[in-house]
Amino acid sequence: MDVMWLIWDGGGAAARVREEVRLRCPDARIVCIDDADVLVELAHGLGDGVRIALGASPGNASDLLHVIRAVRGGSAGHAAPAVLACIDGMDAGLVSELFDAGAQEVIATDASLAGSADAHGQDAEAAHMDIGTEVATRGTVASERDDLVPDDPFVPMGYGGDEVPPWSTETWDALDEPDGDAVACIGDVAEQTGDIVDLGDVVRRVREREVADHGGPRAPVIAVVSGQGGAGKTTLVAAMAACAARAGLRAAVIDVDLMFGDLPSVLGVDAFRGLEGIETHAMDGELAEEDIESCAMRVGPGLTLWGPLIEPERAELYGAPVERLIIVLRKVADVIFIDTSTHWGDAVAAVVALCDRCLVVGSAGANAGASATRVVGLATRLGVPATRMTSVFNRLGSPGCAEEDALRFEMGASLASRARISFGGEEVAGLIGFGRLDSLVAGEGPFSHDVRDLTARVLTELGCSFDERLMGPAPDDHERRPRFRLPWRRKAGEHR
């Protein structure tokens, strides 16, 4: 069968793109698509059975990058399709960005030659960079344009491809003592660079310092955000964390809705402990283990919670401490779930900038799509690529949450990765109200199934090793695994 090519043009390069396709596959079947979203959906459905050719002018480069990331980032269950990108202009930094976004082949030519068949025939020495020269291109451009092509700090050093990082199989006793390395944080960098700080530059530098100081496997961070109140993100965080704990992972949960967070209530915490004491014995910007333990609330097997504050008026002072806490927990937990507030202060901004996966949650409301657009835009400006974001429409099937409402929200978010959570009704409210979250996530209702599926999908994509079967009901739950304990194992009143 002849190869099928899907073509999208972001600005006056359609003829050139078709010509490039014909040069490679004279008998190719070509489908020209004007709508980028339609192209992305077709690419995900057809997988590696189709090839993608995209074109744009330098002025539309951002659109081209977005389409490449969407095509390459959302193909679940099969290989992502190959992407050919044509761009008018010889900007080396832009070419490197296209490779980083996922293009396998980039055609970069002088704009004055684009669109002319005769000119193309004379363009024997135009910059035609295929995958064979990709490494050389990245090596030279990245060193000169670090601001355009920062290294990905979330890929553990020494791991790549299909190799599973060992953070989920490492023994608990081996993590008994945290090391004494200095902790990098946004606050430290801000103090060194003055009062006016470019957030994107700060985030990049913090990540570089964190990788240098804390190389090796780290627990992934899953941030759950929303642009609308009452979307159900707190319940979703609690349920996903409970699923991860049931699957045998050490799940740390942080409530970064520091002023009015409700996770302690949802998780059934008996004795609430605020984050106020997290820096009581801190020295040189490093948190003391006794403070981390004193603020921890043990919820159940494999599940521990930190936050929010007892005194909400102090919320703006805890951006840097929250970041330091995350860095420490990354070394001793298997996964970290973080609930956020709709008001993005310093703490929420730091969490989003450092997360490995950002779940954008929405529900009923005429402005759900518009709020999703704003949230995704802000997360993007904080350095989170679209490939690390997932739109989650919550309470599907409840009043005001029909199929068309879900589509409206997903169109506003414009993310290739999507999920939907069914409405749980009185079952969810009742079980949470009586502190039976574990029974809820192990249930057979549509809400329980959807939460388990989303949790398993996200954890798998982040490289966590677990047994999905343990998320559901087990005949003898209480003998499946030991009670959760913090890694330092110091008892009350014991001295080292």
The secondary structure of residue 320, as a DSSP letter, is H
Tell the residue number behind the tokens 């997903």, with chain if given: 410
DSSP string, 173-197: GGGSS---PPPP-HHHHHHHH-SS-
Q: Are 327 and 214 in contact (CB under 8 A)?
A: yes
**Pairing state of beta strands 82-88 and 105-109?**
parallel
pLDDT given at position 305: 97
CB 335 within 8 A of CB 462: yes
Strand partners, 242: none
How many Å apart are CA 207 and CA 152, to the nearest integer?
A: 9
Q: Give pLDDT, residue 258.
A: 95
The two three-digit tokens of residue 32, written as one number? 């020209």
Q: At what angle do helices 186-193 and 346-354 cross, to 10 degrees?
A: 110
β-strand pairing of 303-306 with 251-255: parallel
Cβ(342)–Cβ(258) under 8 Å? no
**Which tokens go with 112?**
């004055």
CA distances from 107 to 33, 92, 117, 180, 289 (A): 20, 12, 15, 49, 53
362: helix, strand or coil: strand
Specify the pairing of strand 29-32 against strand 4-9. Answer: parallel
3-state secondary structure of 242: helix
In 3D space, the residue among 388, 424, 418, 389 whose CA is nearest the CA of residue 406 turns out to be 418
Residue 166: the pLDDT is 35
Q: Domains for the chain: give ranges and CATH numbers.
A: 4-144 (3.40.50.2300), 173-479 (3.40.50.300)
Pairing of strands 297-300, 50-56: unpaired
- How many of the other CB atoms lie within 10 Å of CB of 147? 11
Which parts of the chain register pLDDT below 50?
Answer: 1, 76-77, 111-206, 477-485, 488-496
Any idea what DSSP says for residue 13? -
Q: 292 in helix, strand or coil?
A: helix
- The 8-class DSSP code of residue 149 comes to S
